[in-house]
Structure 1
């Protein structure tokens, strides 16, 4: 048996030991159950007893104060904090001040939104880490593309936006209009 197999086996045994524990509220046995957020330990007397606990306890990271930083709202120091969606920078005077630092979105030069014609396209990152480009007039304008936009005009339909595409045959420009999607040479 390899070392990784032993580690998995001992981790599994550890989970089984936790499953044989008793409920601190009613004294019944705890069992591993599955929910929309994943596995958890729950009392077998549910719904009479609603005790639950995480199978794996996650380590909580303490807030780290960023020396030399200042909250623009209340002048307290900023801190690196851990939240529901990961790490972020926020005010150390939290319940009194709700300031959070947001990433600066980079607006693309000279790329106007073809939908509303008043906004500009900017690069953003999805929650999955993928780049996409959307209008800075959101939510009024919901124009979005997945490939890097550039100024120009489609030679087939005259749509005022092209997308850079790295294809097997080299760099090509694609019409940003989903109805057209015409490819032209770079």
Structure 2
């Protein structure tokens, strides 16, 4: 007679779900492969296969962290290069890009009239301009904003794409004559 318990042993590398003790299975999603519980949808446990680790490219010995005093470093992370404290995770200081636009050149948000348009970069590296009053105001423009008003609808902002001005109101979008 054979030992039936040997039939139900899991391979050495197979992991069990910490929530329901079912085997984890390799699955694929929009962000790549991951381990998910085989009992899905009854159990929705997932585990990333690859951690998005940050690596130090160069330590900046001459620059001290303003929060803790340790050295700052150029790091390469999930969304590209940045400057952060070498004492992470105890200190989570990160240098955020300063907007190159002087205050005089910043444009008021045409939608909420309270915020200003600031240049930002999405996770793919493409620049866009959005209201700094986000998430209260979700106005954004994919092309460079230009001060002016639309000759067709009177909207308070124009956009520039490949040297052509157009109304920044998505409902209008009329091309504008060169100034």
Write out aligned runs for 1:159-178 (5 A).
Answer: 159-166=155-162, 171-178=163-170
Deviation at 1:172, TM superposition (A): 2.6
Give the corresponding residue for 2:132. Answer: 136
Unaligned runs of 5+ in 2: 1-10, 16-25, 40-46
Deviation track 1:155-179 (CA, whole Å, cap 9, x = no partner) reads 111111111132xxxx332111111
Deviation track 1:74-94 (CA, whole Å, cap 9, x = no partner) reads 111112234344433211122
Q: Structure 2 vs 1, CA of residues 152 and 105 (structure 1 numbering), >3 Å: closer, same or farther?
A: same
Q: How many residues align?
A: 148
Give the corresponding residue for 2:28. Answer: 35
Q: Which has the higher helix share?
A: 1
Runs of 4+ in 1 over 2 A off after TM superposition: 22-26, 33-41, 58-64, 80-88, 105-108
Q: Among 146, 152, 156, which residue is 2:152 paired with? A: 156
Q: TM-score, normalised by structure 1?
A: 0.64
The answer (yes or no) to whether the contact 1:107–1:121 under 8 Å persists in 2 is no
Q: Structure 2 vs 1, CA of residues 25 and 133 (structure 1 numbering), >3 Å: closer, same or farther?
A: closer
Q: TM-score, normalised by structure 2?
A: 0.66
Root mean square deviation, CA, Å: 3.4
Give the corresponding residue for 1:93. Answer: 87
Deviation track 1:75-125 (CA, whole Å, cap 9, x = no partner) reads 111122343444332111223211111122334715211111122211111
Unaligned runs of 5+ in 1: 1-21, 27-32
